[in-house]
Structure formats: C-alpha cells, structure tokens
Structure 1
Amino acid sequence: MKQNSKILFLALAYPKIPNSSNLYTDLMEEFRNQGHDIFVVAPAVNDSEIGLINEEGISVIRVKTLPLLNVNPIQKGIANVLLPFQYKKAIKKHFKSETLDLIIMPTPPISLVDVASWLKNKYQSNLYLILRDIFPQNAVDLGMMKKGGMLYNFFRKKEHLLYELADQIGCMSQGNIDYVMRHNPKVKVRKLHLLPNWQKEIPQFSGDKEALRKKYSFDDNFVIIFGGNIGLPQKLENILAVAELFQPEDKVLFFIVGQGTEKAKIEKLIQEKNIQNVVIKNSLPREDYQNIISVADCGLISLHENFTIPNIPSKSLSYFNARIPVLAAIDSNTDYGKIIQDEVKAGVWAPSNQAYLIKEKIDLLRANPQLCIQMGENGYQYFVNHVTPKHSYEIIMNQV
C-alpha cells in the first residue's frame, strides 16, 4: 500500500491525545508519522465534542453513543447493538471522500462489522481486522451469555461474517491463530498472522525513586502492581486470596490501579476481610502510572480461570517498559504463560485459581532480586525490539 494512503479506523476506546493514550492511539500516531491520512471514528468523550475534530493531526469523528464502558452487561449490549447505526450516520455526515484505501477494525466490538461491510463495499477498500477479544465466546466463558442461545447465535453470525469480510486478520499469539482455525474451519488460513500487542516506549522515571516509593507508602515492601480494568475477566478475587496467605512481616504489598465494574465489589471484600496488604487507587494518566510501575518490584497479570480462549493482556508491555518482571495468574488455555516464562523469559506464571502456587512464584521472585533484574531486562529488550507501534505498523503494511 502506498504512502499517504487514506485510512479509516473504527475505534471503541480512543482517548484524546495527548491527555491520555492507549495502544490504538499509539498505532494511529505511527500511521500519521509515516505520512498517511488518518480518520478515526470513536465515541465522544462528552457532548461538547461531537463531530469532526482534529486531534494531534488525526481527524477524529466523535460520535454520541450510550455508555459503553464500566456499565452492566445489559446496558453494554444495548449500546453495542446501536453503535453501528450511530457510526454509519456520523461517517455519512463527516467523511467526505471519494477514496478509502484501508479500513482497520479491532475487536471489541464485533457489532461494527456492519459498518465495515458497508465501507468496504462502498469504497472497495481493504479490511484489516485486529483480533483482540474473541467474542461471543469470552462472554460465554464469564457466564454473561448462554452458548446456543438467541443472543449468542446472533453475535456468532456477526463473528463469522467478520472473519469472511476481513482481508487480513492480525492475532495476538499463535494460540489465537490455532483457536480461530479450530473453531472456524471456513476461515482462510492465509488471512491469519501474528500481530502481537504493542505500545510506544515511555521514558523511564529519572527522579528520586526512594521518594516516590515513600509517597505511595511502598517503604520496604515487595510491591506487586496491577494496572488496568477491574472487571470480570480479571477476577481479582483470586489475587485477594493470595494476599491473605502473606503475614505482615512478609512485607508484600499488592498495589492496584484502575477502574471497572468489579471495583466496588473488590473494595468491599478487602474491607470485609480486613486485608491490610492490598491498596486500590483510581486510574492515572499513563505517564504517572508508568512512573509508579518503575518503582514497583513486580507487575501482575490476572485472568479468570474459566477462559477457554487464549487471552494475551497488553498491560504486560508497561511492565516490560519499566524493566520489572511479570507475575501472571492466568487460565490454562492461554499461551501467555509460555510466552512470558519460556520465550521472553521476563516473568513467571501459575494457574489463577491456585493461590498457593501463585504465592510460591512470588516467594521465588522475592528471594532472587538478581533474577528479577534479569527478567526485567529481558522484557525490556523484547519490548523495544519487537512490540513497539513501529513494529505493528510494519506488520500491517506488509500484509496489506
């Protein structure tokens, strides 16, 4: 595909640059830096910012939608069903172009397949699918949807259509590729390829680390940090069970930063059980969060044990960036543990519902500071050499 191509990105979560950022803002900035003409369609941050807005050299069509994040499953379902109609109306109003070279669409949400299909037919464009959530199976795994039910069948048809429409499908891991092939035998194998999660490098904290640790009462604790969504997929109840296994003299602190539908529940459990070594803070700007990570001892990944799909959490890239080892409490169906422990050699893993095994991994890291340093360095080298936005941009461009 030529330079200065016109690209339209269908986004679900696209914060305003430079106030905040995520992996998709990082990717679109890379496409912009490479000379492409970028349009992003995304939910409006607030009602005063509806319409076509230039955000750091990227044309963003902000659409008024129902709340999509941190709401109950019924509200989220209704919002996702309405989304394609809202997006299509906004695109007709604001995207005034005779050409469109490439449509990029991530999952979630799968409901935007109708918008992608309409754009693909109208402009004869290439459609590149970034496969992150495998829906509706992930909802089935979490007990939010019944397999074989009317809602499941509706979204399963959307999933089949999306795989058929996509010209290329970027998958997070080989486990993802194998899963799609096993459960969707009609998908052309040539479409599937590896597109690992990515993140732009954030400069390391250069200030007084001891002062920063003191600010957050880390003191002389072994600090295990978790940042991101606090929802059903993460099932942080498993982590509370691990925290309860440590005594005060062990000096182990679990530091959780984020928001989500399960946050109030987790906070209530901490209070009811009087768990002293778990602290929860609200979400922070990425740079501030990255600074805190840099003075933690270990980065935590937590996944619900009932997952049958191979999830690859993107938050591990922040830990790589900060040169700290990863502790993964994960389900048995993901290949994430193999990637972290055996391939990148940047951390350890244990089954998420086996509290004593997770504690053993923590004790291993606590007893081996030099091992932690080596794992942190391994993760950082993997990060800068393989999973920056530039690497993802090159993969996508080579495919299309």
Structure 2
Amino acid sequence: MKLALIIDDYLPHSTRVGAKMFHELAVELTRRGHQITVITPDIRSDKLVTTECLDGVTIWRFKSGPIKDVGKISRAANESLLSLRGWKAIKNSIQPETFDGVIYYSPSIFWGGLVKKIKKCCDCPAYLVLRDLFPQWVIDAGMLRQGSIFDKYFRIFERYSYKQADRIGLMSEKNLEIFHVDNKGFPCEVLRNWADITPFDSFIDNESTLRERLHLNNKIIFFYGGNIGHAQDMANLMRLARNMSIYENAHFLFVGQGDEVNLINNLAQEWKLTNFTYLSSVSQSEFKRILSEVDIGLFSLSARHTAHNFPGKLLGYMVQSLPILGSVNVGNDLLDIVNTHHAGFIHINGEDDKLFLSAERLYAEQTLRISLGKNAYALLEEQFSVVSAAQNIEMRLEAENAVN
C-alpha cells in the first residue's frame, strides 16, 4: 500500500518520543513492502513544501508557524492552521492513486481537515493513533476551565478529527473505557505504544561516556528523559531526589524540555540538591547512548489525570532493560501491567513513602535492578513491539480497502 503518515513533529530534528515512535512505525511499514510518505510541518523552511528521505521514508515538510515550546495562544493559532497549510502545500501532489491509506497521530487534534481531503481525493481509509485525550488532560491539570470558550473550540476540532478515522487506536484498556464515555459510536481498539526492540550497542566508537563527562562513574543513576511539563508533575520526582540525597552514590539525571524546566531547576537550587543534574534535549542517537549508561528509568504522571497514559519514554527504558520506577494517577492500568510483570515499581502519585522505599531497594540491590530490567525487556517484546503495531494498523487498513 501507499500510505500517508501525518504527525506534527518528526525526525531528525525532533527529540520527542512521538516523533521517534512514528518514524519507527514508518521504517517498519517500509520494511513490510509499503511505500511511506510522512506529512509534517516545518518551521525552519521558507518554502511551501520540501521533500527529503530518511531511512527509506519519504518526508513532505510544509511551511508552518511554531507549535512547540511557544506561548499557548501562538501554539493554538498555528496548530489550528495545520490542515489548511498542509493541504495548500501538498494538494497539487495528490491524485486519486497517490495513497491507499492514511495514518495520523494525535496530538495534534487539528489534522481532521487534511485527513478528510486526502481520503476524499484518494478514496482511502484512515487510522488515528490517539495518544493524548486533549483537551481533557489540560482540564485535568487545571490549565483550562471545562466548558470555557477555549474548551468548546478545542472540542470541535477533537470531534472532527475522530470523525475522519475508520479506526481509532488508544494506548490502554482504561483509556478505551474513558473514551467511550464521551465518544460513543466511534470504532476503537487498544493499540499499545511501540518501539524498535533492538538495544543500543553503546561505545562502539571512542567518544567519552556520559558518566565521564558528568563525573558520575561510581553513581547509581536514576534517569528521567522526555517532556518536563504539567502533565508529568515533576515536583513529584524532585521530592524523590531530595529524599534520596541521603545516599552518596544516588544521582538523578533529567533530560528534556517543557513548561516545568524552571520548576525543577528552582527546586534543585532551593533544596540545595547535589545529587541532581538537568540537561536540555539531545538528539535521538545521544538519547539512546544515555539510556545505555543509566541504571533506573523514572517517570511520573499527574495525580489529576483522568486519562490513563502509557508514556512513550518507558519503551526506551525497556529497550535497554532498565527497571521502571514511577508514579501514576489512580486507576491507571499501567500500574498493574508493570508491577504484575515484575518490570519495576509503580505507585500512586502522592505515595511518596512507597516511592522512596522502592528507590532505596533499586539503589541498594544490583541483582534486583538486573532482574526487573530483564523482565521489562520481556514485556516490551510481548506487548509493545513496533512489528505488532504495524501488523495491526496494516490489517485494519487492508480490511477497509477490501470493503471499499
């Protein structure tokens, strides 16, 4: 099949997990014999559209205003224009035979218009990979008032995006349940997050290690990598770092970007933490290298969440056989998945004492870290491989085409 993959952020310039996941999907679909064209915005180019190739994947980048790491009003305005700008850039390249299917990723919720036009022109089905229930998570975080004019505005685009999908894939059973409460009638299923399960082979060159550069050679490194924002409740992990400061060789390394970078740095300064290091975003290759050097993978989800996310960063941890340590909102089925498979320790956000005790165990017991890490990789193989995700989406699109 000739497939269009639509996402608001993509490699090689992006450092975000969603961009990495979508590229892994594109590469796997290419390996399976499909022709893949990624359609994505580009804030760096003055041209209406540019074409390039990465790992056998064709990429159409269309001119756009900034939608990442900018003010909320500017981001909302530029995201609202994504479909309009995207179609304007590519419409002359779209013929009835151009695509046999569309796969689009949310967030963003503003792809409905572009997907509808491609579907109409090519008479093809679409699959929505739905990761965040926006704007609900923003309401949960207290950043947007439910029923406000902005909420109603976003809901219009959210519903319009859902209506273009012949199938919607959500990341967990609990998310599926929550989605059906307010969105009855849409064809949905569980589509787990995914990853290429090949571990990174570190230090095949002569580059210095992260431990050498940061003087952490004898440390047990608790690592957080990814978005540092309100949805993560980073103060939760900073409290853990403060509690673990009694252990000389425990060190916390955070790498990423987001709205709470100033918060974590200010807390580190206020609490005089000497066991904490923050680094801004790095390239995907450097991120993989870092994962190959650390000991424990951290994550956190805000207690205010009503949705039940499976953070993509966990997949990176699992690829490198890292034990997982983190906190989730009440009812999140991620807790049962990880704890039942003995892939790490997950607690309810706010259970600081339990989180600390688990951190102490992971710090002190190397054999426990190794055992949980192996189980994490086994869980990845079983439920979160990119091969499984590609097979599922491929099957759904082929079935829809057969009906048509």
The TM-score with structure 1 as length reference comes to 0.91
2:189: which partner in 1?
Answer: 193
Among the aligned pairs, what percent are the same residue?
27
1:223: which partner in 2?
Answer: 221
Once residues 209 and 128 of structure 1 are traced to their aligned partners in structure 2, the CA distance between those partners, rounded to angstroms, is 42
- 2:112–2:162 contact (8 Å) kept in structure 1: no
Query: How far does residue 50 in structure 1 lie from its aligned partner after superposition?
Result: 5.2
Once residues 165 and 305 of structure 1 are traced to their aligned partners in structure 2, the CA distance between those partners, rounded to angstroms, is 32
1:390: which partner in 2?
Answer: 387
- 1:127–1:166 contact (8 Å) kept in structure 2: yes
Once residues 185 and 60 of structure 2 are traced to their aligned partners in structure 1, the CA distance between those partners, rounded to angstroms, is 34
Once residues 265 and 175 of structure 2 are traced to their aligned partners in structure 1, the CA distance between those partners, rounded to angstroms, is 33
Once residues 165 and 66 of structure 2 are traced to their aligned partners in structure 1, the CA distance between those partners, rounded to angstroms, is 27
2:24: which partner in 1?
Answer: 26
1:167: which partner in 2?
Answer: 166
Once residues 79 and 169 of structure 1 are traced to their aligned partners in structure 2, the CA distance between those partners, rounded to angstroms, is 25
1:327: which partner in 2?
Answer: 325
Once residues 210 and 220 of structure 1 are traced to their aligned partners in structure 2, the CA distance between those partners, rounded to angstroms, is 15
Q: In structure 1, what residue type is equivalent to 2:329?
A: D
Runs of 5+ unmatched residues, structure 1: none
Once residues 146 and 90 of structure 1 are traced to their aligned partners in structure 2, the CA distance between those partners, rounded to angstroms, is 35
Match of 1:359 among 351, 356, 359: 356
- 2:167–2:188 contact (8 Å) kept in structure 1: yes
Once residues 78 and 156 of structure 1 are traced to their aligned partners in structure 2, the CA distance between those partners, rounded to angstroms, is 15
- 2:126–2:167 contact (8 Å) kept in structure 1: yes
Match of 1:349 among 336, 346, 350: 346
Once residues 53 and 107 of structure 1 are traced to their aligned partners in structure 2, the CA distance between those partners, rounded to angstroms, is 23
CA gap of 1:355–1:318, structure 2 versus 1, over 3 A, is same
Query: SS of the residue aligned with 1:196?
Result: coil
CA gap of 1:19–1:332, structure 2 versus 1, over 3 A, is closer
Runs of 5+ unmatched residues, structure 2: 398-404
Which shifted more, 303-312 or 207-216?
Answer: 207-216
2:400: which partner in 1?
Answer: none
Q: Equivalent residues in 2 for 1:94-243 (5 A)?
A: 94-96=93-95, 98-187=97-186, 191-200=187-196, 201-205=198-202, 212-243=210-241
2:63: which partner in 1?
Answer: 64
Query: How far does residue 125 in structure 1 lie from its aligned partner after superposition?
Result: 1.2
Q: Deviations over 1:36-87 (max 9, x none)?
A: 2222111115126752313133222211211111122222111111212111
CA gap of 1:244–1:44, structure 2 versus 1, over 3 A, is same
Query: How far does residue 140 in structure 1 lie from its aligned partner after superposition?
Result: 0.7
- 1:234–1:304 contact (8 Å) kept in structure 2: yes
Query: SS of the residue aligned with 2:332?
Result: coil
Q: Equivalent residues in 2 for 1:188-337 (5 A)?
A: 191-200=187-196, 201-205=198-202, 212-337=210-335
Q: In structure 1, what residue type is equivalent to 2:59?
A: V
2:401: which partner in 1?
Answer: none
Q: Deviations over 1:205-262 (max 9, x none)?
A: 2569996533332233321001111122122111112222233444321101112232
Once residues 18 and 246 of structure 1 are traced to their aligned partners in structure 2, the CA distance between those partners, rounded to angstroms, is 32
CA gap of 1:54–1:219, structure 2 versus 1, over 3 A, is closer
CA gap of 1:150–1:76, structure 2 versus 1, over 3 A, is same
Once residues 270 and 19 of structure 1 are traced to their aligned partners in structure 2, the CA distance between those partners, rounded to angstroms, is 24
Query: SS of the residue aligned with 1:47?
Result: coil
Q: In structure 2, what residue type is equivalent to 1:130?
A: V
The TM-score with structure 2 as length reference comes to 0.90
The alignment of Structure 1 onto Structure 2 pairs a total of residues equal to 392
Once residues 208 and 376 of structure 2 are traced to their aligned partners in structure 1, the CA distance between those partners, rounded to angstroms, is 23
Query: How far does residue 136 in structure 1 lie from its aligned partner after superposition?
Result: 1.3
Query: How far does residue 110 in structure 1 lie from its aligned partner after superposition?
Result: 0.7
Query: SS of the residue aligned with 2:181?
Result: helix
Query: How far does residue 393 in structure 1 lie from its aligned partner after superposition?
Result: 0.7
